[in-house]
């Protein structure tokens, strides 16, 4: 493409390679201006770098997102449970019962 040769957006600034993470185009790379998508002085320069994402790739990326969410939830549950473990250990080991050896010395 002619824009790739010039490496300039519509405002004359150099554009950069970015990655889209939308549901329709997960992990699909595109060329865009540094101001692409901004409300103020937003440039509309846009050009896909990668071919369209196929259905199998979308499913794989969706599954990876679900696994990451499940791992995050598992870590959260672990840290919610940890104070209970500390309380139990504190109650178990803080004050040890002392044995009165004089009773058994006879």
Whether 102 is covered by a domain: the verdict is no
pLDDT, average across residues 48-66: 84
Contacts of residue 9, defined as CB under 8 A and 6 or more positions apart, other chains included, come to: 15, 32, 33, 35, 36, 43, 45
**pTM of the entire predicted model:** 0.47
Locate 45 and state its tokens: 């320069």
The predicted model gives 71-86 an average pLDDT of 82
Q: Could you tell me if residue 29 is inside a domain? A: yes
> pLDDT at position 96, please?
60
Structure tokens belonging to residue 89 = 């250990």
Residue 44 located in a structural domain: yes
Over pLDDT 90: what percentage of the chain? 4
If one counts the domains in the chain, the total is 1
Residue 104 lies in a domain: no
Q: How confident is the model at residue 97 (pLDDT cuts 50, 70, 90)?
A: low
d(CA 84, CA 92): 12
Position 17 in a domain:
yes
């Amino acid at each position: 493409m002619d824009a790739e040769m010039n490496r300039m957006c519509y405002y004359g600034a150099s554009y950069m390679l970015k990655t889209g993470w939308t549901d329709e185009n997960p992990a699909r790379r595109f060329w865009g201006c540094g101001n692409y998508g901004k409300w103020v002085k937003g440039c509309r320069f846009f050009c896909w770098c990668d071919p369209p994402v196929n259905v199998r790739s979308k499913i794989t990326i969706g599954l990876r997102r679900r696994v990451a969410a499940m791992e995050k939830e598992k870590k959260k549950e672990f840290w919610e449970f940890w104070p209970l473990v500390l309380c139990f250990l504190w109650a178990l080991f803080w004050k040890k019962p002392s044995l009165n050896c004089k009773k058994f010395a006879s």
